[in-house]
Copies of this chain bind each other. A is one copy, B any other.
Amino acid sequence: MPKVAIVGATGAVGLEIIGLLEQRQFPVTELLLYASGRSAGDELPFEGRQIKIQNLASADFKGVDFAFFAAGSLISKEFAPKATEAGAVVIDKSSAFRMDPDVPLIVPEVNGDLLNDNHRLIASPNCSTIPLVMVLWPLHQAHKIKRVVVSTYQAVSGAGRAAGDELVSQVVAMLNHQPMEVRVFPHQMAFNVLPHVETFSPSGYSTEEEKIIEESRKVTGLADLRITATAVRVPVLNGHSESINIEFENAADPDQVREILKNAPGIQIMDDPVDAVYPMPLEASGRDEVLVGRIRKDLSVDFGINLWLSADNLRKGAGLNAIQIAEQILKIHHLD
């Protein structure tokens, strides 16, 4: 029975991890919750008891088996090495180590077989990358992917807990014809769309777009995967969606794609548009599965498919994926 620590316990992903540990009955002997000094001393409920939040600055990871890092990448860079040195297996949600060649970047359904007993630090990909590779990977096995063009429709929860509050308060202000506060996002998010997720590189790409491209390549092991991305924030509280165009090397018709994805782990097909059945963020929010639909032929290339997905960016896009990594490691230990 492992001792578990959560770093960034009060954030959107941290809270999701606490809830998921409970829901999935992850075997926990002891749960340590770490956050900034601001939250230290507060309590959060877990399995019927209240757990005191401790100041990360004075964290002691001795005896911790799994440390879930769900704070920013600066926090991970500073504290993850301390946790691994103390003997913990760190599962890091931040971008700090994702592209480090020595760190496995894992989506269990795609490349979980890379995990082994010796890994002390495992990275979990970006919230847009995870559902994307879960769709691309099984399709690539069957039809070999030539090129991918993806445009995202990302919820504000991906920007942290304050972002949802800001969206709601902006909506309230607007409906009451009052001035609104614009703080988390660079522009009004209420009733607006921003082609801006995270920060921009000189290349003109946002870091979110670069992550989608680079992390997809690393997770699938397709180092030369031809993929481009446009990341967009929409006024949705939770649940990311993606419009995905895939060009294949080999013939792939919508029925084949539907069949492959129906049998792929972690994916649920919702594809009956005539009856208004398709993935939506509102539908995906709170669910484990990546919802996939709108599967149809793209006639602009020889072997093309358009499809659409929605997934809970805090769950499969973050907390759930991290816990599934830990579950897989537990399984390896049990097999040993």
Contact = CB atoms under 8 A, between A and B. Distances in A.
Contacts of A226: 300-301
B282 A188 contact: yes
Contacts of A281: 191-193
Contacts of A301: 147, 226
Contacts of A279: 195
A40 interface: no
A271 to B, nearest CB: 8
Contacts of A335: none
A99 interface: no
A280 interface: yes
A172 B175 CA distance: 8
Given A254-B204, A273-B196, A282-B188, A308 B230 contact: yes
- Taken together, the copies of this chain in the complex come to 2
Q: For the side of the interface on A, what is the size category?
A: 35 or more
B243 A151 contact: yes
A195 B308 contact: yes
Interface in A188-231: 188, 191-196, 200, 203-206, 226-228, 230
A201 to B, nearest CB: 9
A107 B190 CA distance: 31
A289 interface: no
Given A171-B171, A235-B191, A186 B276 contact: yes
A14 B234 CA distance: 28
A234 B153 contact: yes
Contacts of A168: 175
Interface string A113-157: 000000000000000000000000000000000011101010000
Contacts of A153: 153, 193, 232, 234
Given A193-B234, A196-B276, 20 more contacts: A148-B300, A151-B230, A187-B280, A192-B281, A192-B282, A193-B241, A193-B310, A194-B278, A194-B280, A195-B293, A195-B308, A196-B278, A200-B274, A204-B294, A206-B273, A228-B299, A230-B243, A230-B294, A230-B306, A230-B308
